[in-house]
Structure 1
């Protein structure tokens, strides 16, 4: 089930994908149910199944990036869906995959043992695809959790307003249930991506060169002009005492994608500098052609897109840190 060679049209007729749900019948908000019934929800429903299949194949806790990469390889998506981006350059498919993960988590099929890592719960491991139903097994469970979280948030905002709490207090004091119900990972990630895309381009280059140093590459930033688009040149020494010359190029995009010709031009710069490896970093994403060209020739090119850049910045604690949240147990201080 769910292998890459399976035909998407045959697959799509399974799992109750074409079911129409009546909001009155299920006693849920019409807006939430209408989203499930909408044609635009097709890609997200597909993503729910693709994520389950990918995690079953990995067999254990796996980084979200690897899970989503595996899911996008399946033939359930068109190439247009894989390449589509929003105005900010954010991958639309990636966004749907993240929503799918959130719904699977709220349905009890996925868990996150640590930030950025996902695994199947016991229930998720025992999913039977021959009887699996996208509504009964996922959305009928996840929608009420979404609605409960929204209601609790509104209740707390109302209480905060009534008590005239300042913004800082409101943000730092919250209930444990609400903290657990929020996918805090996506809020800060989008904010950070927006900040990266709005950076001064020269400051962005300096940031990435500093990041390269942090991960162990002795790199210097090149002059602003006259270096064929190369932003940094450095040397990486491995534990085996091998040294590689590395060149860096960055593209701070607000929208659009890095294309095949961009990568080919960079490959030429690698050769001109007699380098062994190239690293290309963007705040956007890469076209399929760009990915294919990065794997051709003698000098392989490492591609880092906006989502991967956020992960690397977080892992190296560069401009990103976790803030301890004060949690008050409302049940312990009940007024009733």
Structure 2
């Protein structure tokens, strides 16, 4: 069932940023943004934390009138000299696309001896996933991915868009940002259930690198449950054989980090890019067993079918302040927000401590 289209008034993710992150996931060494120096400034800096050199042609007023194609060509050549990249990405912006800049001709004129992915994107698309698709089309054209992976990614993006329109930050005209419930109160309630020997399902359903923090929450739940003699079943979308190069590496890193903590996954629900559909496996697990008292869901909780969670006390941990109200409206009993999660997970290769996980462990240790 597709959600009705609504006019979204609060800020939404940009197609340009989506393109940048997709280039990173494809293994691009250097990205050149053809536009003003301030375009996507925060995300461009964060990408450098992940080892991607992010440059800009810094188009100014003169460039808006006379164009900057030669400027782009020179920067491509200079980037090649400076960084010796194996794979380069060129990303359009609103300004360069509006004035009709020819990214392809600039790349041809630069005459680099490595593949260059040309991404003609702007921020005017209704869904930010359009930026991902345009980038994947460029990767398919250059043979970086095959048709099967492209089709798989496109299907997952359609499902992700559907999830957001049904129950996510694109489900209402305006969603005010909220901080969610107080972490120690939610952790206290969860600890009470564990002390009482209640049985829970512990689900990681996270998107890409955000799983480096969300997985720590699930690890904390599993560890405290074991110490308290309670039983939890842990599910996670950590298949290491699915997705783009970085996505697969992240899944393997996180799975290894969990095992180092003595936490083993009872059931793999899919890859890190399969969060929009992994909820179907969670629903199967609950239906097959049917004897759970509570559910802890970290990452993208609204992608888990709410009907499957009927009768369970639901603890949801998200990184979206605008996701709080939709989760409550769905019927999730406790909603916790991990603030500023993205900057904490850029460039990391090991699991990162979460605020909620630390709170749960702290309460467990004192009583």
Q: Compute the TM-score of the two structures, normalised by the length of structure 2.
A: 0.25
Bigger relative contact order, structure 1 or 2 (CA pairs below 8 A, ≥6 apart): 2
The higher radius of gyration belongs to 1
Q: Compute the TM-score of the two structures, normalised by the length of structure 1.
A: 0.27
